[in-house]
């Protein structure tokens, strides 16, 4: 019977995993969206604006012109970057309208 419990736990883990990305998506819409929005101080951005590797380099190399440390901590930024990569231009499901244009 033990294998059934193991099975259930594996299934639960598989179901829960996408929540990590949903968190990244929420953070993205809230934190990045506070500046990046229609009529905001910066134009709307979306995961599908760049390929996954470009997102990684953009934040690894600190290319964001505005200091983000006040808006997000390192863990939050990491989770946003994971979300951006998951729905990047070259992903299975490019996300073009997380922040409406």
C-alpha–C-alpha distance, residues 92 and 14, integer Å: 18
- Contacts (CB under 6 A) with ligand HEC, residues 40-59: 41-42, 45, 49
Interface with ligand HEC includes 32 (CB under 6 A)?
Answer: yes
| Identity of the residue, 16 or 62, whose beta carbon is nearer to ligand HEC in the bound complex | 62
What the block records as the tokens of 89 is: 């231009």
| Identity of the residue, 18 or 43, whose beta carbon is nearer to ligand HEC in the bound complex | 43
C-alpha–C-alpha distance, residues 71 and 53, integer Å: 23
Compute the CA torsion angle 63, 96, 41, 28 (nearest 10 deg): -70
What size, in residues, is the chain?
101
Interface with ligand HEC includes 8 (CB under 6 A)?
Answer: no
Which one among 5, 65, 69, 93 touches ligand HEC, defined by CB under 6 A? Answer: 65
Chain residues that interact with ligand HEC, rule: CB under 6 A: 31-32, 34-36, 41-42, 45, 49, 64-66, 68, 71-72, 77, 80
């Amino acid at each position: 019977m033990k294998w059934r419990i193991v099975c259930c736990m594996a299934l639960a883990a598989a179901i829960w995993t996408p929540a990590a990305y949903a968190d990244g998506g929420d953070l993205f819409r809230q934190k990045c969206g506070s500046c990046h929005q229609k009529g905001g101080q910066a134009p709307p951005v979306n995961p599908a604006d760049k390929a996954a590797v470009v997102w990684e380099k953009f934040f690894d190399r600190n290319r964001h012109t505005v200091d983000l440390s006040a808006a997000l901590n390192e863990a939050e930024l990491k989770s946003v970057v994971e979300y951006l990569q998951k729905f990047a231009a070259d992903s299975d499901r490019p996300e073009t309208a997380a922040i409406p244009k």
